[in-house]
Amino acid sequence: MSQTITLQQFYNDYLPKDAAKKCQLLPQMGHFNVFKRGDSFCKRFTQIHRTDFYKIALVIGTGRLHREDEVIEVNGKSLIFYNPTIPHLWESVSEKQEGYFCLFNNHFVAPSLADNNFRSSPLFNTNLNPVYNLTSEQARDLSFIFRKMLDEVESGYVQKYEILHHYLHLLIHEAHKMEPVNFSSDKYLNAASRISSLFIELLERQFPVDSTEQSLKLKTPHDFAERLSVHVNHLNRAVKEVTGKSTTEIISARVANEAQALLKHTDNSVAEIAYSLGFEHPSNFNVFFKKQTQKTPKMLRARV
């Protein structure tokens, strides 16, 4: 079973010692850093893993991105978004691996969560394809942004982290520019989109589940509606309008996805996992899990 790699572990175990020394986990502003990709670095990860930090990589090379039970072929030039909640592994195919990657923690992106463009990116919306294929011109433009990040990280400018925030937003916007444009002048749809985005943000903030001693706080549509200060019927209508799914369906699918990750990638007991996901009794969790996945928790673990 895989592990969750913390930011400090990443520096200590996967980067040269001089890079680890530069790791500053600043509580007042969070952490951000950027590196060049290289052949040796790309081969250091050997098993699927989760992280407690976000990552965006400009990949120049050929490889496979393993995510849960999915494998995405990456050929040539791509921009890849890594969400901490999704177990992943990069498998290099071509010998030559170039490009850049930046990494940052929750605290660093906290000021950006009010930005709908940020919340609707693959960093937070795990239903989106995390891989964007690039033209040579797009790869060149993105390389320029990453090089500016490298320069800024090395600079002594007092407000460099504010500039790095802007570069991070620029990467997000470049990704959105590659997506199909869907304009709508309907005011209700705009309001519904905002409520739906806030709902998804609250849902995703609860994951990954790292402790068996705490249980999910928000478990039902009523819980989310109360936190968002809207009537539950209004929340349900907005979410259905935007996503085509009910609020309950989205919550259940996300909890089931986390349950599968915990069963596959931790040694926690079924009872501990059930409690951490908001179930008072393992039997209730077993019924829920089988309804969502057509398997029992024990059946899933037996196949891992």
Count of CB atoms situated within 10 Å of the CB of 229: 6
For residues 241, 190, 203, 249, the Cα torsion angle rounded to the nearest 10 degrees is 0
Q: Which CATH architecture group holds 4-177?
A: Sandwich (2.60)
pLDDT digits (tens, 9 = 90+) for 203-232: 988 888 878 888 999 999 999 999 888 889
> Quick check: 89 and 66 in contact, CB under 8 A?
yes
Is the Cα dihedral 145, 173, 104, 66 positive or negative?
negative
- The region, left, alpha or beta by phi > 0 then psi within -120 to 50, assigned to residue 82 is beta
User: What CATH class does 187-303 carry?
Assistant: mainly alpha
Cα 210 to Cα 38, 51, 108: the distances in Å are 31, 11, 20
User: Which segments in the chain show pLDDT lower than 50?
Assistant: 20, 181-189
One fold for 4-177 and 187-303: no
β-bridge mates for residue 72, sequence order: 65
Q: Residue 85: what residue type?
A: T
Instruction: Concatenate the DSSP letters of all residues of 240-253 into one string.
Output: HHHHSS-HHHHHHH
Two structure tokens written together for 134: 């690039």
- The predicted pLDDT at position 45 comes to 65
* Domain ranges within the chain, ordered by starting residue: 4-177, 187-303
- The predicted pLDDT at position 41 comes to 62
Secondary structure in 3-state letters for 65-84: EEECCEEEEECCEEEEEECC
- The predicted pLDDT at position 198 comes to 84
- The predicted pLDDT at position 62 comes to 93
